[in-house]
Chain A
């Protein structure tokens, strides 16, 4: 019982670190992209559609958004690794099912 609680505590630590890292990196990239955008666009009003000179800013922000969107998916993978190590077959199966469903939705998005 104590070992299980210790293991779950470790999973929580891993997930917390993963979420915080994902947010930190993606936020940093989005801020950098906004700084680039503001340095080439003098007005505080921006157009939603990307103009040619704004492409570098859009790319940096898009990478940041991508990392943000991948952060929860990576946490599911972390859970799979954890449940594999702790040999918790029920929750390993559940985690794999969640990842599979996410992959299916990603496939639908990319088709």
Chain B
């Protein structure tokens, strides 16, 4: 432990550009809130590959930035009634235990393994964003709701049903929530990934809520942001305990993220994100490749 600490201190004995950190936060906050995935996918690769921070420090910093991102987004989404608060709390009962397990596991897993794992997840997200059909249109969301028999109890289903006013459609959208056991399982997995890799977990939650549980895309993004705020807080506290959160690294990131997230949320409410998602998916493919090269010590 002492040897690891000394090594870490040596790794951190260099200067960091405040504007580079702030700019990273700004872009991650914007894209993360606009796409509903937190922003950790951008922050961790930049901090490790471009700014040469150790993986554990990058993940800890990323988790704090994601809390800032999701709190900013949740403040707007809850006001607009897009967030399904009851569903978010219900799924959190599975996500937080997952986050605890992920946080504890991250302390004993080598950085190279984390990098490789992160690269794999990036590839999955890139595939999801570029290829999968469900992200292309709000209208497609409930077309494939019959993938499995729904075993959600009726009273729970009716309690979780919700509605909101959609500005683009100009009408009130009402929806039911189905397949809650599948949602709980996916939420647990998202919690593990969140703490283990320093990501929000929205890449799992948003598709599952949208495709499997029957939530409209906007409601899924908003509920995911609310959940991510709670989940990443748990992970961030654990990373804080292990000494992987440095105030001078996190501060410019947080400021950049808050500004970027505010702009991203406005964009989400007004625009369709097809092109943005595809561009981001392409970027993720590139970053995933870089992460694998780094794991193999090629770069």
Contact = CB atoms under 8 A, between A and B. Distances in A.
B81 A9 contact: yes
Nearest to A97: B93
A27 B18 CA distance: 16
B14 A47 contact: yes
A57 B17 CA distance: 17
B71 A68 contact: yes
Contacts of B229: 19, 71-72, 75
B96 A108 contact: no
Contacts of B240: 69, 109
Report, as a range, how many residues of chain B touch the other chain: 35 or more
Contacts of A94: 86, 89-90, 93
A109 to B, nearest CB: 4
Given A16-B79, A49-B13, A109-B241, A65 B71 contact: no
A94 B184 CA distance: 13
B245 interface: yes
A30 B85 CA distance: 29
B71 A62 contact: no
Interface in A37-91: 37-38, 43-50, 54, 57-58, 61-62, 64-65, 68-73, 75-76, 79, 90-91
A106 to B, nearest CB: 6
B251 A91 contact: no
Contact of A105 (B53, B70, B96, B248): B96
Contacts of B298: none
B254 A46 contact: no
Contact of A109 (B71, B74, B237, B251): B237
Nearest to B90: A94
A13 B79 contact: yes
Contacts of B13: 47, 49
Nearest to B231: A72
Given A30-B255, A76-B89, A98-B93, A105 B99 contact: yes
Contacts of A54: 248
A108 B250 contact: no
Contact of B246 (A27, A34, A48, A57): A48
Contact of B233 (A16, A19, A48, A73): A73
Is the interface on chain A under 10, 10 to 19, 20 to 34, or 35 or more residues? 35 or more
Contacts of A26: 68, 254
A65 B204 CA distance: 26
B86 A91 contact: yes
Contacts of B19: 44
B71 A49 contact: no
Interface in B225-242: 226, 229-230, 233-234, 236-238, 240-241
A71 B236 CA distance: 13
Interface in A95-109: 95, 97-98, 101-102, 104-106, 108-109
Contacts of A71: 67, 71, 229, 233
Interface of B: 9, 12-19, 53, 57, 64, 67-68, 70-72, 74-76, 78-79, 81, 83, 85-86, 89-90, 92-93, 96-97, 99-100, 103-104, 156, 159, 226, 229-230, 233-234, 236-238, 240-241, 245-252, 254-255, 258
26 contacts: A9-B81, A12-B78, A12-B83, A19-B229, A23-B71, A23-B75, A34-B252, A44-B17, A44-B18, A46-B16, A48-B246, A50-B248, A61-B250, A68-B64, A69-B233, A70-B233, A72-B67, A72-B71, A72-B233, A90-B156, A90-B159, A101-B93, A101-B96, A102-B233, A102-B234, A106-B234
Given A47-B13, A90-B156, 7 more contacts: A15-B83, A44-B19, A48-B12, A65-B64, A73-B230, A79-B85, A102-B233
